[in-house]
A and B are shown apart, each in its own frame.
Chain A
Amino acid sequence: MKIVVCVKQVPATNDAKIDPETKRIVREGMQAILNPFDTYAVEEAVQLRDKFGGEVIALSMGPEKAALVLREAISVGADRGLLLSDRAFGGSDTWATSYVLSKAIEKIGGVDLVICGKQAIDGDTAQVGPGIAAHLDWMQAACVMEVCDADKDTITVKRMHEDGYDICEMSLPAVVTVVKDINTPRVPTLKGRLASDKSEIPIWKPEDIGAQSSKIGLDGSPTRVVKTAPPPIRNSVTKKITGTSAECVKELIAELRLRSIL
């Protein structure tokens, strides 16, 4: 099974600054990490590869520094990494980003399955995975909590929703986005990290993947960010409960029930 796992480098902090002009996150000087949801995608890809054989290719679009998250994916089991990096990709919204990723997946060739994290913690759109499927015209399942079965032609997954889950059987190739329930991501080993540090990460540009300039960057992005603002500060109040243990527990339960938490 040839699996592409899409990963993104995101800011490590919650207090990300936003450029008032461009309305985009200011990434300079900010510590960056592998998007937490993508760690589950990588783990699932590695587990499927270990079960069915084949190859896991980690794919990312971003600045050259984003190679670090590809190395992290390699350190936990991905076979290789590919980075899409060029000024022309800058300013891409989720539609243009998924177009670029889909062109790279076409260029890789012979891909059976694309796995993405449910969403990135910086944008929270959850649109890129489904966008890739739309561009490639492949079947897709979002918010997958379990891969039940797979063979060379089909994959059966549990797709989570508010009221439970659906069991979906899809013909391959397909795209899935995964949620945290799907597995427990492994932590990189020293051996894996040392190997990943030595890996070559090829950088692909628009011409390498045959991407049309009108479909990438700002020109290829139908979304216009009109305004960006931090969320309002929550006015939380701390209530101290005093008394004996039994009294405290009783009052805590009453307070939780009052707020419909219990």
Chain B
Amino acid sequence: MRYHIENKIYHVEILPPKQSTEKLEADLELFAEKYNRVMESGYCACITDNAMGLLAFQGHEIINELNLKVNPEQVMIHLNTFHTKSNLCEILDTCMAKGIKYLLIISGDGSDRLPKLQPADVEAEDVQSVTSVELLRYIKRHYPDTFTLGVAFNPYEPPEHEFEKLKRKIDAGAEFIVTQPIIEKNAIVDEMIQKYPDIPVIVEAWMSKKLYLLSDAVGYPIPEDTEFDPIKTLMQIHRDYPNCGVYLSLLGFKTQYHLIGETWRNI
């Protein structure tokens, strides 16, 4: 992950088609178009796992089905705890076979329709519920030296609790950290960077103008009439966090993608 930061490789989020889509083939085509564009740019494509609890197809199966090219340095799959055991094994085995190296391990957002990993599934009989910590430990144990595993850090949670959680994630073997979206310098993120100077940190930059979605992500209301320029904010984030990587969430491929090319390099 250090390589990504040193070489100014953006992490570009790509949302896979939703299960409820009535135009699956068109959505797959669009996914492939975005994925290939990220590959050609030399960036890293980050594919979400049922984000916000909305059922979507899995990144590994789309890559497999569409036979998309995988460069190990350029693909990151999100993996949450809302899977069956057999599904989990299938995801990990496919990622391994395809050479996908980076996994972002998160507890995730559930829904009534999604199964949840049980403690016995990940050999964690001492807990009531599986979180990213137990999932991370399981992957480390069963797929040693196969993946580079990252975890999430939420600066909007009560800090004491979040830092305690992060410690358990690091102890379980996390090798990089991705923050929740930030739109300005954040004291809690600064503290986290100071606490773990040896672990690469990727800060998430919010690229959508839909501020109500950002309100959901950060957990406090942001007035819709707030002046917000994602590209200017991105540049400021680069200045504020020169030693961190950047994850671009909800990037507009039509309206913004062509603008990001020089953004980092010009800082």
Complex Cα spacing A190 to B57, Å: 6
Surface stretch bound by B, among A140-148, A163-171, A181-189: A181-189
A194 x B115 contact (CB < 8 A): no
Taking the closest CB of chain B, its distance from the CB of A249, in whole angstroms, is 16
The proximity string for A residues 22-36 relative to B, scoring 1 for CB distances below 8 Å and 0 otherwise, is 000000000000001
A190 x B62 contact (CB < 8 A): yes
Query: A187 — which chain B residues lie within 8 A by C-beta?
Result: 19, 55, 87, 113-115
Complex Cα spacing A188 to B56, Å: 9
A191 within 8 A of B: yes
Taking the closest CB of chain A, its distance from the CB of B73, in whole angstroms, is 25
Residue from B61, B112, B113, B114 within 8 A of A191 (CB atoms): B61
**Interface size, A (range):** 10 to 19
Taking the closest CB of chain B, its distance from the CB of A63, in whole angstroms, is 15
Query: A190 — which chain B residues lie within 8 A by C-beta?
Result: 57-58, 61-62, 65
A39 within 8 A of B: yes
Query: A215 — which chain B residues lie within 8 A by C-beta?
Result: none
Query: B19 — which chain A residues lie within 8 A by C-beta?
Result: 187-188, 193
A193 x B113 contact (CB < 8 A): no
B24 x A194 contact (CB < 8 A): yes
Taking the closest CB of chain A, its distance from the CB of B53, in whole angstroms, is 12
B61 x A189 contact (CB < 8 A): yes
Query: A68 — which chain B residues lie within 8 A by C-beta?
Result: 22
Residues 70-105 of B contacting A (Cβ, < 8 Å) = 84, 87
Query: A189 — which chain B residues lie within 8 A by C-beta?
Result: 57-58, 61
| B66 nearest in chain A by CB position | A190
Complex Cα spacing A59 to B52, Å: 32
A197 within 8 A of B: yes
Known contacts A187-B19, A188-B19: A36-B115 contact under CB 8 Å: no
Query: A39 — which chain B residues lie within 8 A by C-beta?
Result: 113
Residues 26-60 of A contacting B (Cβ, < 8 Å) = 36, 39
Residue from A184, A188, A193, A197 within 8 A of B115 (CB atoms): A184
Taking the closest CB of chain B, its distance from the CB of A69, in whole angstroms, is 12
Complex Cα spacing A39 to B114, Å: 11
B84 x A184 contact (CB < 8 A): yes
| A68 nearest in chain B by CB position | B22
**Interface size, B (range):** 10 to 19
Residue from A36, A186, A197 within 8 A of B87 (CB atoms): A186
Known contacts A185-B115, A187-B115, A188-B19: A197-B84 contact under CB 8 Å: no
Residue from B24, B57, B61 within 8 A of A197 (CB atoms): B24
Taking the closest CB of chain B, its distance from the CB of A84, in whole angstroms, is 22
The proximity string for A residues 177-207 relative to B, scoring 1 for CB distances below 8 Å and 0 otherwise, is 0000000111111110110010000000000
Complex Cα spacing A194 to B61, Å: 12
Complex Cα spacing A216 to B114, Å: 37
Query: B61 — which chain A residues lie within 8 A by C-beta?
Result: 189-191
Taking the closest CB of chain B, its distance from the CB of A105, in whole angstroms, is 28
Residues 43-63 of B contacting A (Cβ, < 8 Å) = 55, 57-58, 61-62
Taking the closest CB of chain B, its distance from the CB of A153, in whole angstroms, is 31
Complex Cα spacing A188 to B55, Å: 10
B84 x A186 contact (CB < 8 A): yes
Complex Cα spacing A189 to B114, Å: 13
Residues 9-48 of B contacting A (Cβ, < 8 Å) = 19, 22, 24-25
| A34 nearest in chain B by CB position | B113
| B82 nearest in chain A by CB position | A187
| B61 nearest in chain A by CB position | A190
A-B contact pairs, 9 of them (CB 8 A): A68-B22, A184-B115, A185-B113, A188-B19, A189-B58, A190-B58, A191-B61, A193-B24, A194-B65
Contacts A189-B57, A190-B62, A194-B65 aside, 16 further interface pairs with beta carbons under 8 A come to A36-B112, A36-B113, A39-B113, A68-B22, A185-B113, A185-B115, A186-B87, A187-B19, A187-B55, A188-B19, A189-B58, A190-B61, A190-B65, A191-B61, A191-B65, A194-B24
3 shortest A-B CB distances, which residue pairs?
Answer: A190-B61, A184-B115, A190-B57
